[in-house]
Amino acid sequence: MYRIGILGTENSHADAFADIVNNPGSPYAGEFKVTALYALDERPSQLIQSKHEGDDIQIVSSPDEMLPLVDCVMVTARHGMYHKDFALPFIREGMPAFIDKPFTVSTETSMQLIEEARIHGAPICGGSGCKYSSEILKLKADIEAGVIGNVTSAMITFAVDLDSVYGGLYFYSSHLIEEMITLFGGDVRTVHAFRSGKKLTALARYPQLDVTMNFEHTYTAVVYGEKGWLAVPTTCSGIYEAEFAHFAEMVRTGKTDTTAEELVKPVRIMDAISKSLISGRDEAV
């Protein structure tokens, strides 16, 4: 049985993953089990522990204390600034690691983490689960099937909290960005961002396409093409299950289906947005 440690239990994602694995009737029963929890504040860990009373989940006081208790980890801390430090002890032991959105809060830190994983042969995956949204995947399939012909432009809308104590822009913007990358790929050359109060608009320029990233509390994707247009509401339904399925397969095989560029590209785009908000200009990704 693979023993899972979750680090950063203040995030609702931690609770969701613990439910998927430890709830009675789990499809992963006998194969995976959450056995250890860590967070800077123990109270969220205590809630998960009490919810799964009888599973012998241990709450530890440091990542190092968790090391002998687990075979793989899921890092779900709300603030991406902790992700590298929480994951590194396990990556250096070659353990598989899922690292939630945002992967980190700087391109430099992302590259350091990816290099550590390469050196120690640790498979890693993660980022936003919204890339597995059923609506986004259906829209991607329709685009690739040529339903609206060649895509000419698009607008994706998703929430943001620019003043969040969990990293501001970085806390939530990865969701929209990873939806965009799922639909159109990662070849964003430049971004130009504008803030209006609590809202943010940014233009992502691809070689043959511009995408408007509309950060506000609505959840939609609209794509225009030479033959028409498609519009869908987007939800997070089923994304935790999809994320865990990818993580479980990575643990089983020791191989990740996520490339280093897929992990770092959303962070590069967030960094470029942040720079553009300061400079008022296009910023290279």
Q: How many CA atoms lie within 13 A of 56 on its CB side?
A: 4
| Predicted local distance difference test score (pLDDT) of residue 236 | 85
Looking at the structure, tell me whether residues 79 and 163 fall in a common domain: no
Q: Per the domain annotation, does 263 fall within a domain?
A: no
pLDDT one digit per residue (tens) for the chain, 285 residues: 999 999 999 999 999 999 999 999 999 999 999 999 999 999 999 999 999 998 999 999 999 999 999 999 999 999 999 999 999 999 999 999 999 999 999 999 999 999 999 999 999 999 999 999 999 999 999 999 999 999 999 999 999 999 999 999 999 999 999 999 999 999 999 999 999 999 999 999 999 999 999 999 999 999 999 999 999 999 988 999 999 999 999 999 999 999 999 999 999 999 999 999 999 999 999
| CATH number for position 139 | 3.30.360.10
Q: What is the DSSP letter of 148?
A: T
Residue 43 lies inside a defined structural domain of this protein: yes
For residue 153, the SS3 value is strand
- Residue 196: predicted pLDDT: 96
Range of the domain at 25: 2-128+238-257
Question: Are residue 123 and residue 150 in the same domain, yes or no?
Answer: no
Judge whether 264 and 114 are in contact, CB under 8 Å: yes
Q: What are phi and psi of 90, to 5 degrees?
A: -80, -40
Identify whether residues 160 and 34 lie together within a single domain: no
14 three-state secondary structure: helix
| φ and ψ at residue 175, rounded to 5 degrees | -60, -55
SS3 assignment, position 156: strand
Three-class SS of 171-238: HHHHHHHHHHHHHHCCCCCEEEEEEECCEEEEEEECCCCEEEEEECCCCEEEEEECCEEEEEECCCCC
| List of residues 6+ apart from 209 with CB closer than 8 A | 151, 152, 153, 154, 184
Instruction: Look at residue 43 in the predicted model and tell me its pLDDT.
Output: 96
Residue 169's pLDDT is 97
Give the pLDDT confidence score for residue 54 in this predicted structure: 87
Give the pLDDT of residue 250. 98
Q: Are 91 and 180 members of one domain?
A: no
Are 194 and 55 found together in one domain?
no
Looking at the 3D structure of the chain, how many domains does it have? 2
Q: Are residues 11 and 97 in the same domain?
A: yes
